[in-house]
Amino acid sequence: MTSLGDRYQAVRRATEELCAPLSAEDCGVQSMPDASPAKWHLAHTSWFFETFVLESAPDYRVFHPAFRTLFNSYYNAVGDRHARPARGLLSRPALTEVQAYRRHVDQAMARLLDDEVARAPVAARVVLGLNHEQQHQELILTDIKHAFWMNPLRPAYCAPPPERRAPPETTATPALLSWHERGGGLVEIGAAESADPGAYFAFDNEGPRHAVWLRPHALATCLITCGEYQTFMADGGYRRPELWLSDGWDAAQAGAWNAPLYWEQRNDGRWWCLTFAGMQPVAAADPVSHLSYYEADAYARWAGARLPTEAEWEAAAAAAAAPGAAAGAERNHLESGWLRPLPAAASATAGGGPAQLFGDVWEWTQSPYTPYPGFQAASGALGEYNGKFMCNQMVLRGGSCLTPGSHIRASYRNFFAPAARWQMTGLRLARDA
């Protein structure tokens, strides 16, 4: 079994490897208030360990007193914080200084984690910090993608591998959308509290585990593809208000939306989209991504279907992820290195069950992000981690091709405002039985 110290090192190193293709200048750019510079992510994830683990450790020397404010994201209980939209103005500290900050924190953490007596009381916080860092790994990628989109040169994050456009097992015979029927009744969702916190991690917002009454319904076996989405576009999807929520229609008009984010139409009428390998032609069989909730909802209405609730999704995913279920092997997560959603292979849905539940793209659900029955945020600063955002956001499930595979699970609840498009967000249809 991996020690906590080893796991700490692995996660921290992974973050740095994600930044390796980026220059110091790339790492400093903030393309909109919702996004942060990679340098800020590198520092903030270190700040998290410094603030919530190391500051109470004996002999720990704070790296720089100003960092407590500079790299505080949103913890009012920790004190002041640098204004979020101004994160891109921080040419100092330099990237090299932030890297030194990481090494400083890592060395102190290594000492702490080596010490069995000192480790025990902070272990839960360390695990939280590692999960926190994994969340920022995905954000580093989505934020730099947005920054590159704002640059007319449309830079590539990395070169496409030679075989880039053809993972044989998926594009050869892509799956067709069919329906996976599921009965109704009382189901339990949410993460149960574990007797051994080291054995299993879940964020506080995933619990308490609780009963939900479901009606019979069906879930689509695959994600909606770019080709299907283009049919919606061709059918006037972006010009027909009757397909849209009122706020969604307003957002679409205000933003002049006529396609997913990162898509642009060339003079020959073909659509291209920004990928981590630069601009690429849109591939019909790929899952569509970079949709807002509003677009996902409009698509579902156009298709005569709806989005799943988070309970419907989780019940299905828990079954699929149960011991003996086969889905895991084909997951497309960060570790796969594709950095783009992949088509479902026909073989994956041959058994009638849903494919692509994990990885590829986050799936918008129709569920607003609210506290589960009985939820209580922790007291103190860490209680701010999730609870205070339980309003005006929608739940997404399943992780994406940018999510570390060890970070996702059936009960995982991601959440974004319904107009957000810069995440790797797509959709799966559902319908009443």
Residue 60 CB burial class (10 angstroms; 0-12, 13-18, ≥19):
middle
Q: How far is the CB of 128 from a second copy (least distance, A)?
A: 19
For 188-255, give the DSSP string: EESPPPPSSTTT----GGG-S-EEEEE--EEEESSPPBHHHHHHHHHTTTTT-GGGS-HHHHHHHHHT
Q: Which residues contact 17 (CB under 8 A, 6 or more apart)?
A: none
Q: How far is the CB of 330 from a second copy (least distance, A)?
A: 32
User: End-to-end distance of the chain based on CA atoms, in angstroms?
Assistant: 44
CA distances (Å), origin 54, targets 47, 61, 70, 152: 9, 9, 17, 42
- Check binding of 253 to a second copy (CB under 8 A): no
**Among residues 95 and 222, whose Cβ is nearest to a second copy?**
95
- The size of the interface with a second copy (CB under 8 A), counted in residues, is 63
Half-sphere exposure of 64 (CA within 13 A, CB side): 16
- Check binding of 69 to a second copy (CB under 8 A): yes
Q: How far is the CB of 121 from a second copy (least distance, A)?
A: 24
**Among residues 16 and 114, whose Cβ is nearest to a second copy?**
16
Cβ contact 385:410 at 8 Å: no
Tell which positions 192-211 bind a second copy, by CB under 8 A. Answer: 210-211
| Rounded distance between C-alpha atoms, residue 40 and residue 423, angstroms | 18
**Among residues 150 and 176, whose Cβ is nearest to a second copy?**
150
- Check binding of 166 to a second copy (CB under 8 A): no
**Interface segment toward a second copy; rule CB under 8 A; list 104-112, 162-170, 332-340, 390-398:** 390-398
Q: How many other C-beta atoms can be found within 10 angstroms of the C-beta atom of residue 330? A: 18
Q: How far is the CB of 83 from a second copy (least distance, A)?
A: 10
Assigned token pair, 120: 């025990």
Assigned token pair, 110: 């290594």
For 18-41, give the DSSP string: HHTTS-HHHHH---STT---HHHH
Backbone CA torsion sign across 403, 407, 412, 418: negative
**Among residues 274 and 355, whose Cβ is nearest to a second copy?**
274
Partnered with residue 271 across adjacent β-strands are: 265
**Interface segment toward a second copy; rule CB under 8 A; list 8-16, 328-336, 386-394, 407-415:** 386-394
- Check binding of 405 to a second copy (CB under 8 A): no
- Check binding of 254 to a second copy (CB under 8 A): no
Q: How far is the CB of 19 from a second copy (least distance, A)?
A: 13
Assigned token pair, 365: 């659900």
Binding-site member from 57, 319, 321, 390 for a second copy (CB under 8 A): 390
- Check binding of 245 to a second copy (CB under 8 A): yes
Tell which positions 336-375 bind a second copy, by CB under 8 A. Answer: 366-368, 370-371, 373-374
Binding-site member from 5, 21, 155, 405 for a second copy (CB under 8 A): 155
Q: How far is the CB of 234 from a second copy (least distance, A)?
A: 21
Site string for a second copy, 101-140 (x = CB under 8 A): ----------------------------------------
Binding-site member from 49, 52, 232, 244 for a second copy (CB under 8 A): 244
Cβ contact 403:359 at 8 Å: yes
**Which residues are at the interface with a second copy (CB under 8 A)?**
23-29, 31, 66, 69-70, 74, 76-77, 82, 86, 88-95, 147, 150-153, 155, 186, 210-213, 215, 241-242, 244-249, 293-294, 297, 366-368, 370-371, 373-374, 383-384, 388-392, 418, 432
